[in-house]
Amino acid sequence: MSAAGGIDLHTHSTRSDGTASPAELVAQAAEAGLSVVALTDHDTTAGWDEAAAAAERHGVELVRGIEMSTELRGRSVHLLGYLFDPDHPPLVAELERILAGREGRLPAMVARLTDAGYELTEADVLAAAPSGAVLGRPHVADALVARGYVGHRDEAFATLLGPGGVGYVPRYGTPLEDAVRILTEAGGATVVAHPWGRARALQPDDLARLSVLGLAGVEVDHQDHTPEQRAELGSLARSMDLVATGSSDFHGTGKTDHELGVNTTDPAEYARLRERAR
Ligand code: AMP
Ligand code: FE
Ligand code: FE
Ligand code: ZN
């Protein structure tokens, strides 16, 4: 698919687990011919200002966003939020709680890996992460690559860091309903990210319930969804009057097959999404 003039509403920079800085990411979006790009780092808005300055220089429209770590019935669900007030106190408090959970898990992950024969220190993980990044499993993966235990991030997830792997340690996520409510109260529009990707935590009746709470949309076109899942989710979205988005979930070189513009959002759907934010 050509990205020319395209709208890509899900990307990550070095402020979380992407490998391009916010400014580099926006430059690459312009290079790819995108007209609109959203920066949606995991649990942080720290990249917004740098991305906005770059967007102005490159003539690209920046959508200020986030991908929030949430939980439903004990399973991880990622919630995209757009165009919200980042200073809304309940949101600030909740993001602090998620970040504390991420930091608290790191010593446990390092200890489990070391016990299993993959000797690793917190300093290794910090050295593998860009300074100021929200730390996640991808940085642990990068540290394992740097130590030579695995060849690539994907391999680290497949063998050690995925659920059931020796290095896997769960962490705090905001209850999904609360996250929808908080981001909506902050003036934003929310979209469930890759709802039928790896975890497939969400059922159609969950979407119906969440839409009553203010959920604006679902990410339909995503690399983790098969063509059949995209068709089914798209018709579910239409029947529930939810906005259907399509995005790359770009992580720079940190994730293969997620190039900028690989999936894009229909301009009419983007307009409806903007209307859902105040
Ligand atoms: P965390 O939020 O720290 O638990 O890490 C989750 C992040 O790891 C996701 O946002 C993805 O970017 C990445 N990730 C999850 N599963 C995989 C996988 N199988 N291969 C590569 N990256 C993954
Ligand atoms: Fe990620
Ligand atoms: Fe995600
Ligand atoms: Zn993402």
Average pLDDT by stretches of 10, the chain with 278 residues: 81 98 98 98 98 98 98 96 98 98 97 98 97 97 98 96 96 98 98 91 94 97 97 97 98 96 98 96
Ligand 1 pocket, residue 81 CB under 6 Å: no
Q: Indicate the top mutation candidate among 67, 77, 153, 157 to test ligand 1's pocket, ranked by most ligand atoms within 8 A of CB.
A: 157
Ligand 1 pocket, residue 276 CB under 6 Å: no
Q: By the 8 A CB rule, do 245 and 191 touch?
A: yes
Helix 89-115 vs helix 137-146: angle between axes, to the nearest 10 degrees?
Answer: 30
Residue with the smallest CA separation from ligand 1 atom 3 is 136
Q: How far is the CA of 18 from the centre of ligand 2 (A)?
A: 7
> C-alpha angle 84/86/87, rounded to 5°?
125
Token couple for 262: 């690989």
- For residue 193, the ligand closest to its alpha carbon is 3
Answer yes or no: pTM beyond 0.85: yes
| End-to-end Cα spacing for the chain | 32
- Written as one string, the DSSP assignment of 46-87 is TTHHHHHHHHHHHT-EEEEEEEEEEEETTEEEEEEEES--TT
